[in-house]
Structure 1
Amino acid sequence: MASEGTDLSTRKSAENIALCHFKRQKVAISNIIITSFPFLELLRDYGFINNELYEKSKKSFETSGSQKEVIYHVLSEVEKTFNLSLLKALFSKDIMETYPGLKDIYKTFKKVIPNIELFLRSDGEENEEKCDIQESLEQGTVDFGNNSISGKAKKRRRTTMHTDDTVNFNAEILPVTCGKMMGMLIKRKLQRGATVKCIRTEDGNWFTPKEFEVEGGYEKSSNWKNSVCCGGRPLKWLIENEYLPQPPHDRKRKPENAEKCKICGDEGKLFKCSFCLIFFHEYCHIPPVEPERKDWICTFCTIEESSRSQQHASYSEVLARRMGPKEKLNCVFLLLKLYYHLENNIFRSIPHEHYVQKASQCLETLRTLDEIKNKLNGGCYTKVKGFVLGMNKIFQDPKHDDSVQTEKEFKKNFKQVFSIQ
């Protein structure tokens, strides 16, 4: 499909961010692994370390007085061939039950890559499928003339191969129908909740999936996932096969004058800043909102307090600064301002003519911005200059049709937040 290259790029970006964060967590992980079993056995059985390194590490762990150093050395070795399947194994149920402290480490990964569960799940399914095929080969049950194949492989083929070739299910915008209704579903909006208006019709009106279903004449339907279709497939099928995100559980729908997210302007499950009383979606805000915190303060209020003591500096001085907490806060503020600019000023004002083309370009810019956000949260930028270079790639890329407006907005806010003379 046309977007497979983009999906691969997004996955590669997540893998790079995960590696960067893994390097920073090796010491913490080494302090948690206090017994060699089943940690070393898992790494060996899954092929992350060879038998020679396993035997050597096992012996050193039992005889050495510095077990933490042994684990750190092993982690440094697996780092050389790092991929997301390592995290899939490291944060598996059996391992985290043996080493409960890894649960806190996993939470830090979820903060820098909010959708990491999706990547780990798809990676695990790929590995499982490879194991199924390998097992079938060993048992002599696979016939590439389609005469024989294992039961698991047959089942997987049924769920992944029966797709409509006329529809690119991986696209950011999907054509949807329900009875007499026709519209375009924006995946990014659906991910914020099932009560978000994520379907746009030709007349420019927006509907939630349930509202779209009712307008299409399915008032009595018990499940919008089965009624709203794309390319002949119900949305339930798309969600199960990971073409669509699984929307989070939303509270009861509010009236039309309900609160909306400051960044994207959508409704859904929102969290209120205790200082300015403005609402945000959990992952629209940077860093992600901590739902369990009662007196949560948003980045806008935090930056307002901290900027009062800001010292004036030149542009070159700011670029050369180490990415400390203050600098990171400023960069987070700049990203939030850009997200707001793109989603409220550009995306919402796209006319119906050539809507799919213009909206897709804006969504592409937002996706690239997501990658920069994940790198910033993951500590991949050591200096402010690295963050700015990442932003400049957006402005210089011709596929980002809104780059001129976006660059102008970024430079204005950059000068303000860093107090550049």
Structure 2
Amino acid sequence: MDNGLFTANNVWMMICTGLVFFMHLGFSFLEIGLTRSKNTVNILFKNVFIITIGLLLYALCGFNMMYPGFEEGSSGFFGFAGWGIAAPENGMTPDYADGGYTWWTDFLFQGMFAATAATIVSGAVAERVKLSSFMIFTILYVGIVYPIAGSWKWGGGFLDMMETPFYDFAGSTLVHSVGGWAAVVAVALLGPRIGKYGTDGSVKPIPGHSLPFAAAGVLILWLGWFGFNGGSVLSADPELTSLTLVTTCLAAAAGGVGAFVFDLILYKKYDLTMFLNGILAGLVGITAGADQMSPMDAIIIGVIAGVLVVLAVGFVDKLKLDDPVGAIAVHLICGIWGTLAVGIFGALAGMDQFISQLIGVAAYAVFCLVTAFVILYALKATLGLRVSKEEEIEGLDLHEHGMTAYGDFSTK
């Protein structure tokens, strides 16, 4: 391979790595915007912890657990290539990864994905989770559960070994649903925030303190998805990269429009939060097959994701699962939809592929629900998962951190 092309591929992948890293700011803005100001420091602390500990754990064991190099005849369920990271002899040459990038770039790009699964859970449990328990959960889920789950497809595991391999281009299931299933368990074990549900079964909105932050967060996430999906091409291939970015953007736009229009029909209001979640729904929905879809396929997938997220938010509330940012509706429900859409639309459409997609969705559901429950129930039984009533009412910023997010700028 020409060294210039190898360099161009690697530079593109490093840019995408930076864009995926930038998504953590988007998640932070979205979460603090949709929650109350008294919990802002707590949410920011969790998000900073997730990316820092996530990268360290991925270097220590996660990368080699996710890409263990399954041997021929292996069951493809679990493998481990050893502790720590060290580039192979060909790791800095075009002989590695077909000249798409270097080994170090590979590690860092995949490491950015690893932390995202726990970030999804962070938003769902906001405003009432005990910080120490959440940190322990993050260490176990990002350090062990996510890499094992990722190895089943991206590491060449059993889902990739099927006669018709399960397909997930950039993580509708491997990232978003892995986080979404854990969020369901966490929210169920935690219980709703004080005052969220009335004794008569009514749902009482708890407005976030900054819609500008929430809107900025979603737009930053959309920008970051250029790297999330664009980098998943694993090279700077002009045709495939440009198609992927087009389908990603069209699905996001269609998801936003689909959500706000459907919500307007149902509730007669122009709901900004639903508009924003619709954009995210479209992005999550296209992620499994962004490289396989035509632009029109992407628009259809996005619109359906937008409608689904409106229905899912209401359904989650009916189950009394208090999710302040809509993470379950966006990342889990639309992650499942996007994964199944691979078997319905685009280049891989067909019954065999659809069945493989169903098998993949089911496998991740069982694994993530069981592992998340074991971790979180153990924490609930020992350290406890939820802060006290007093701490929740007064805010986690003061009780967990001894500080507030916003200073008192009034003159005296």
- The structure in which a higher percent of residues are helix is 2
The higher relative CO (CA closer than 8 Å, separation ≥ 6) is in 2
TM-score bracket, normalised by the shorter chain, equals under 0.3
Query: Which structure has more strand as a fraction of its residues?
Result: 1
Q: TM-score, normalised by structure 1?
A: 0.27
| TM-score normalized with structure 2 length | 0.27
